[in-house]
Structure 1
Amino acid sequence: MKVTVVAGNPKPGSRTLNAAVLLSNLIAGRDPDHVIDVTALGVGLLGWGDAAVSASVETVATSDLVVVASPTFKAAYTGLLKLFLDQFATGNGMKGVTAVPLMLGAGPAHFLAPELLLKPVLVELGATVPCQGLYVNDKTFDDPAAYQGWLDQWGEIVRRNAGPTHES
């Protein structure tokens, strides 16, 4: 299974990135094959055809499992993540990819943000999202126990769904 993490936090090396890596590790039982810290793509996200952005899009599109993570920004996911997701073709840009929407926030007010805001975009791009999106408090992002309830309910379903569909 080819596993990729995408973190759309404007801060490099963020808690969001660390949370996504932790979640992918808890799901797959190992470190991800690829980590895309979207902020590192810089101004290439503002247009079309940038080589680094295209390579990152290809990495995601050929992955079996992708954890897509964002902090909660103004009650939604970040504009930086949106710029990256806009690089994918509608309907089939993530065809065959199992995606897990993950968002971090400071409190329970935006608990449904991954489900209501990020998941529909991933589905629009052709990803299969067989589970409820996950919201983690940014104070407990590095505690595996913060993910356990979600893993108990959805972990096996995600693993089965993400079984190898692409050549690695």
Structure 2
Amino acid sequence: MSIVVVAGNPKPGSRTLDAGTRLATALTGREPDHVIDVIDLGAGLLGWGDEDVAAAVSTVAEADLVVFASPTFKATYTGVLKLFLDQFATGDGLRDVVAVPLMLGAGPAHALAPDLLLKPVLVELGATTPAPGLYLLDSTYTTDTAIADYAERWSPVLAAATRTEAA
């Protein structure tokens, strides 16, 4: 099973990247195979045909499980993540990919953002999203049990979905 983390934070090496990696590891019991810090793709995201962007898109499209992580900016996911997601074909760009939307924020006001804003885009691109998204407080995700609780509840569902998609 191929596991990928996509972090759409304008800051390289962000808490978003860390949280996504922690979640992927908790869900699967091992480190992700690939971690894509979208901001590292730079100006290649602004057009079509960039080799590094195409390689990242291919890595994600061929994965079994992908955690898509974003901080909450202006009550939604970031523009840099949107630029990356725009590189995928509508309807089947994420076909056979099981996706987990993850968002971090400063407070609980945007707790529904992963399900209301990020999940529909992933589904539009063809991803399977059998579990609810996860919203984490960026100030406590390393010390609270939110990731472990989510993994305990949803990893069996996600594992079953990845087996189904692979079949």
CA displacement at 1:79 relative to structure 2: 0.3
Structure 1: where are the runs of 5+ without partners?
A: none
Structure 2: where are the runs of 5+ without partners?
A: none
User: What is the rounded CA distance, in whole Å, between the counterparts of 2:107 and 2:152 in structure 1?
Assistant: 22
User: What is the rounded CA distance, in whole Å, between the counterparts of 1:163 and 1:80 in structure 2?
Assistant: 31
TM-score (norm 1): 0.95
Call closer, same or farther: CA 1:89–1:67 in 2, change over 3 Å: same
Call closer, same or farther: CA 1:109–1:144 in 2, change over 3 Å: closer
CA displacement at 1:144 relative to structure 2: 6.3
CA RMSD of aligned residues (A): 1.3
**Does structure 1 retain, via aligned residues, the 8 Å contact 2:26–2:148?**
no
Equivalent residue pairs, number: 166
Q: Helix, strand or coil: the match of 2:100?
A: strand
**Quick one: percent identity of the two aligned structures?**
62
User: What is the rounded CA distance, in whole Å, between the counterparts of 1:49 and 1:144 in structure 2?
Assistant: 42
TM-score (norm 2): 0.96
Call closer, same or farther: CA 1:97–1:144 in 2, change over 3 Å: farther
The ranges of structure 1 where at least 4 consecutive aligned residues each deviate by more than 6 angstroms after the TM superposition are none
CA displacement at 1:164 relative to structure 2: 8.0
**Does structure 2 retain, via aligned residues, the 8 Å contact 1:140–1:146?**
no
**Does structure 2 retain, via aligned residues, the 8 Å contact 1:15–1:141?**
no
Q: Helix, strand or coil: the match of 1:4?
A: strand
Map of 1:47 onto structure 2:
47
CA displacement at 1:143 relative to structure 2: 3.3
